[in-house]
Amino acid sequence: MRALIVDDEPLARQRLRTMLADHPDVEIVGESETAEEALRAIRGLKADLVFLDVQMPGLDGFHVLDTMNVTPAPFVVFVTGQAEHAVRAFDRAAGDYLLKPYDDGRLAKAVGRARAALQSRGGYLDRMAVTLGKRTVFVATSAIDWIEARDNYACLHVAQQQHLVRETLNTLEASLDPKAFVRIHRSAIVRFDRIKELRNLGLGDRAVILQDGTELPVGQKYRDRLPQG
């Protein structure tokens, strides 16, 4: 995602830039200090994602949202220190908002919503960015066996390897092709073609057995997503 940061405070821009480094698929293509600069950057840089401060000298962030007039429109995340701006932001069709001071978890949710919204415009994810030391590599979704929730992260199980990405399972579920992946538990998504067996454990409990022998429980609310029998 090509991201633009709009904020009149240099320290605020730097903090956001630093925090976004945890999201390797977010490429920061520019920074702006005023609404006028932001409008030129949005039109010229073709950003997918805009982090937009509400209060700036002169024209404010709402003016930018109302007048940017680009197609397709970027996903706009309003950044504000005042909670009352949130309602107005959603009324103006902003995608999300961050209330200062926000933390890594809240930023990750905003990025996840942006990713899901942008992905829905162009189909489902076919690869995912993961960080390996100082490198960013892309893992094909076709190589993923299953995905496990781990606190604020998701763990991609790819053969014998595991990769952590800062995403929620809800965001990933919305971004993955439902013909290829199925949510079987609040903490697990599996790829259909990795399922070897559905096993009844008795007392209504069920489990999925993967091709490599991994056994995963099936949550009660997700049972109807799998063949019955």
Average pLDDT, the chain: 89
Give residue limits of the domains in the chain: 2-122, 127-225
pLDDT digits (tens, 9 = 90+) for 29-77: 999 999 999 999 998 998 999 999 988 888 888 899 888 888 788 999 9
Task: Tell the burial category of 215 from Cβ atoms under 10 Å away from its Cβ (0-12, 13-18, 19+).
Answer: exposed
pLDDT of 170 reads 84
Confidence tier at 86 by pLDDT (50, 70, 90): low
pLDDT of 83 reads 73
pLDDT of 107 reads 94
Top CATH class of 2-122 equals alpha beta
Among 47-56, 78-87, 191-200, name the one with the lowest average pLDDT.
78-87
Confidence tier at 88 by pLDDT (50, 70, 90): low
Q: Over pLDDT 70: what percentage of the chain?
A: 94
With b meaning 16 or more CB within 10 Å and e meaning fewer, what string describes 173-191?
ebbbeeeebbbbbebbbbb
pLDDT of 93 reads 59
Q: Is the pTM of this model over 0.95?
A: no
- What is the rounded CA–CA span in Å between residue 57 and residue 213? 60
pLDDT of 65 reads 86
pLDDT value at 159 more than 80: yes
Mean pLDDT confidence for 128-146: 88
Looking at domain 127-225, its CATH architecture is: Beta Barrel (2.40)
pLDDT of 215 reads 97
C-alpha separations of 208 from 75, 150, 222, 227 in Å: 37, 19, 12, 11
Task: Give all strands (DSSP E) within the chain, no chain letters.
Answer: 2-6, 27-32, 49-53, 75-80, 96-99, 127-132, 135-140, 146-150, 153-158, 161-165, 181-185, 188-191, 195-202, 205-210, 215-217
